[in-house]
Every structure is written in structure tokens, then in C-alpha cells.
């Protein structure tokens, strides 16, 4: 059973207002919750959806049919960097895929996350964004369907700030800037992307944080989240990420290419707290 607790913050608030107006939960999920009478009080009694509730009323929201399909696996090496009952942030190692290409694949980050979630009595975990297989760093995960719907919408509206650290070849002339170039598929290579006038809009902000003899370390902030966006943008400028041979790096790196998702910031969709999650 997947569930979470919530205490009303406004006098006269109703369950319907919370789910449909304030949180804008998915129509299918909200309808199912109403049919299942899955919003209850502290005694487990169903709450009437249109009943005005006193401020400070504790509620339990349950999702009896919320089950993710990832096969649970041992999570001894799973590195959790932040968690509450709605969200989970984990550190993805470089070289590990976020999710299986097809069910019931194994050996991915989401398999380990599902093992952890089940050990805590849960049954649901879905990632909000992706990281390329050889990109390390923070991955944000929803622990119930309402959080997933809200965070998906926030991502589409650019309300989740994602920061990366990359070491690129050569010396960038500008100390900071914005790369605003559309990205599309490369017709000559199945997995590669390229800057293309017919591609999807893509914007990357960057600032230089260190200059080295033959490279530059930058912090990059995504405004959009296209496949391989940072890698494509800097390669197009003639400064591919070190070790990223798919995009023309001539430097052989020790281990994976030099790109890490180091920070994510957003307003929590349910508690409304300002959240900043960082990792090395």
C-alpha cells in the first residue's frame, strides 16, 4: 500500500479542492481515489470530498492500485541524498542506466530504488527526469502518483532547476553565457543528437567555475531537458565534454566522461518548502 499523510492548512478546505484545484492530481488517479474512498481521517474513516474541514485536520491519502513495474533488487549500494514521504532523491553512479529498456529488465537504478521502496512498505516509485547512462548525479523520484503528476507538470513549466558540473575541452572565452540552440536527432547515427534548425528548442545556461591548462570546468543549468543536451551544446561550440567520444572528445578520460548532476532546486509541491538538494 502506498500512502502519505497531510494536514490541512486552510480553514474550510475540502479534499476535492486539494486534489482537483490545489494539487491538480491526474484525473484517472483522483477518480479512482474517490471511488475507493481512499482519503481517511486518523481513525481510518473515509472523508466526504466536499466537506469543509477545520484547519489542521490530519488526513491520510492512500493508493491501493499504485504499483510500479520495476523488479525490486538488492539496494546495498543505493545512495539516498534526500527523502520525505512524497519524494526521494538518489545519487546515480556513472555507468548505470536509470531504468530498464524493457520490462522486466534488471541491473538499473530503478530496480534498486524499488527494492528500497518495498523494504519500507511501499509499492510505487517513478523517476521524474532522466540522466544519461554515463552521467552521474542526482535523480529525483516520486513516491506516489500525486507527487508524480505535480512534479511532471513542474518540469514542463521549468520550475525545477537542475545544475550540472562538466569539464569541457579547451578554454571557453566567456565567463558565463547562454546556449540557445535547437536539438534534433542525427540522421546518420541512431543514438547521437545534433544542433538542428528543425529540432526542439533547447537552452543551457553556464558559468565558468575553474580554468585548467587544457580544459574548463563549468556549471551548467538546464532550462529545457533534451536528450544529451549539455553534451550536444558544448560539442557544437567546439568544447566537447572530456571523455565524451560520441560527441568528438579527443581526450581519453579515466572512467566515464566528465559530467555530473550536482544540484536540484524547487518548491516542494505539497509542503511548499524551498528544497535544495546537492551532491558532490
Point out the residues that are catalytic.
132
Distances (CA, A) of 117 to 11, 57, 103, 243, 279: 34, 27, 18, 34, 21
161 Cβ neighbours under 8 A, 6+ residues apart: 221, 263, 264, 265, 266
Nearest partner of 164 among 109, 225, 243, judged by Cα: 225
**In the block, residue with C-alpha cell 510505487:** 124
* Strand 203-211 relative to strand 176-180, pairing: antiparallel
Which parts of the chain are beta strand (E)? 2-7, 39-40, 58-63, 79-83, 87-92, 126-127, 136-142, 160-169, 176-180, 183-185, 193-195, 203-211, 215-222, 259-267, 274-278
Backbone angles phi, psi at 276, to 5 degrees: -130, 120
Residue 118 host element (H or E): helix 109-119
Are 158 and 73 in contact by the 8 Å Cβ rule? The answer is: no
Please, what sign has the CA dihedral across residues 209, 211, 217, 221? Answer: positive
Amino acid at each position: 500500500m502506498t500512502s502519505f499523510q497531510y494536514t490541512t492548512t486552510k480553514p474550510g478546505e475540502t479534499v476535492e479542492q486539494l486534489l482537483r484545484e490545489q494539487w491538480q492530481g491526474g484525473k484517472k488517479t483522483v477518480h479512482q481515489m474517490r471511488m475507493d474512498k481512499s482519503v481517511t481521517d486518523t481513525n481510518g474513516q473515509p472523508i466526504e470530498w466536499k466537506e469543509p474541514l477545520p484547519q489542521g485536520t490530519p488526513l491520510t491519502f492512500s493508493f491501493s492500485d499504485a504499483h510500479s513495474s520495476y523488479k525490486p533488487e538488492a539496494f546495498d549500494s543505493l545512495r539516498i541524498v534526500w527523502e520525505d514521504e512524497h519524494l526521494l532523491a538518489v545519487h546515480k553512479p556513472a555507468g548505470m542506466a536509470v531504468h530498464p529498456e524493457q520490462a522486466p529488465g534488471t541491473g538499473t537504478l530503478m530496480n534498486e530504488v524499488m527494492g528500497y521502496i518495498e523494504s519500507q512498505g511501499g509499492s510505487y516509485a517513478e523517476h521524474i527526469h532522466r540522466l544519461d547512462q554515463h552521467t552521474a548525479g542526482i535523480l529525483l523520484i516520486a513516491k506516489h502518483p500525486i507527487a508524480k503528476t505535480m512534479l511532471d507538470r513542474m518540469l514542463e513549466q521549468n520550475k525545477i532547476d537542475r545544475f550540472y558540473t562538466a569539464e569541457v575541452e579547451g578554454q571557453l572565452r566567456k565567463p558565463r553565457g547562454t546556449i540557445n540552440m535547437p536539438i534534433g536527432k542525427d540522421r546518420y547515427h541512431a543514438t547521437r543528437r545534433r544542433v538542428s534548425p528543425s529540432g526542439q528548442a533547447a537552452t543551457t545556461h553556464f558559468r565558468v567555475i575553474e580554468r585548467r591548462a587544457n580544459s574548463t570546468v563549468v556549471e551548467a543549468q538546464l532550462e529545457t531537458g533534451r536528450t544529451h543536451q549539455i553534451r550536444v551544446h558544448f560539442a557544437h561550440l567546439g568544447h566537447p565534454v572530456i571523455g565524451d567520444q560520441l560527441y568528438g572528445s579527443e581526450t581519453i578520460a579515466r572512467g566515464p566522461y566528465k559530467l555530473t548532476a550536482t544540484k536540484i532546486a524547487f518548491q516542494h509541491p505539497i509542503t511548499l518548502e524551498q528544497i535544495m538538494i546537492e551532491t558532490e
